[in-house]
Structure 1
């Protein structure tokens, strides 16, 4: 019951919550072939989380364009943000790891915490439906959503992209302007964000800076959608 008290959710099917707390390393070391991990729940929870945040931003930021909404959503559901929420819930203490992962500090790794939170979201969704999952998500992300609404804050996409890459042991991205079309007073720039020679995102704007910012925004969205660092356009 302690974990349910922390989450503010009483499960009808406690097995769903238990599964959400099983890391893949636990399965690898388990003797029982019936043991499963939280990876499938994580997949579903990612989708539910994205939908709830997108809906909230749509209603709370009526003047924001698609690009700002997309990038703000990416900032709110990125690994570091979700890990912060998971820490506030003390989720790490309840996760089940294999011995090796536990010994390497797995309970406080951003990736493990974020994945577990997504799995818990899916468990709430499967156990009690969309409205309950939505309430759970908004309850814990509301301060960040409120800041975006009250202050009209837009994340620093270039800084967020750099932070994301460095958290995954990657170098800082570089940017290049690939075109500048139109007369001086209404020129449109197109820029690309690159990791090594891989294009992570492409964006346009009325200045070089705006185009690079849009490219970083697109890169963050692509990385979130694809869920990895080994993807991109070439």
Structure 2
């Protein structure tokens, strides 16, 4: 299983134990991936910041900050995780398995950051840089120079306003997990178009973004 993930990210670990730890949730055993997630978050921000700096020399610091925030947010990491089938490789405790942890956006996003951290420890900055840039290439290529990236809720709102339709409603459908590690379920409703999507996230705001992204997909609205 790990070998197929290595092929997916196009990186072969010299120390296989690092990848194993990156894929281990705290509900399964220790050592788990939270410390690697901390490292991965930092290296991801550094790599994306450098890419934006080099690719868009005329963009202001404020716009670069917004672009980076959009690219490294949970929703973006979740989508990348799904493209890698990362959930199939996670090591989760029985409770998390039963509650759908392998598909939970927050767990997948954290695990992908942990993988980035593991690559950094195993192959240094150059190794992590290659992995991250390759995975993010389509997102980076899709950014129009000089145009700040907008999040899913903003794009959905502007799309509906452009068609003179009522704005979507976001309804909290429920929460899962303990207080310190809750997952939120939010429904996005566009009554005028009979569209109803659901998003999951580690915060209500993250769940709303996922639900809005799914609504945009139903409407066939691009970035």
TM-score over 0.5 (shorter chain)? yes
How far does the alpha carbon of each residue in 1:159-216 deviate from its partner, in whole angstroms, 9 at most, with x for none? 36x9xxx78569xxxxxxxxxxxxxxxxxxxxxxxxxxxxxxxxxxxxxxxxxxxxxx
Match of 2:80 in 1: 85
After superposition, the C-alpha distances for 1:98-134 in whole angstroms (9 at most, x for unaligned) are: 0111111111111011001000001110001101100
Name structure 1 gaps, 5 residues minimum: 28-34, 171-234
* Paired residues for 1:1-234 under 5 Å: 1-27=3-29, 35-148=30-143, 150=144, 152-156=146-150, 159=153, 168=184
* Displacement after TM superposition at 1:2 (Å): 2.1
Which piece of structure 1 moves more, 4-13 or 133-142?
A: 4-13
SS of the aligned residue for 1:129 comes to: helix
- Larger radius of gyration, structure 1 or 2? 1
Superimposed CA distance per residue, residues 48-71 of structure 1 (whole angstroms, 9 cap, x where no aligned partner): 000000000011111111111001
Measured after TM superposition, the shift of residue 151 of structure 1 is: 5.1
How many residues are matched? Answer: 163
Runs of at least 4 residues off by over 6 Å: none
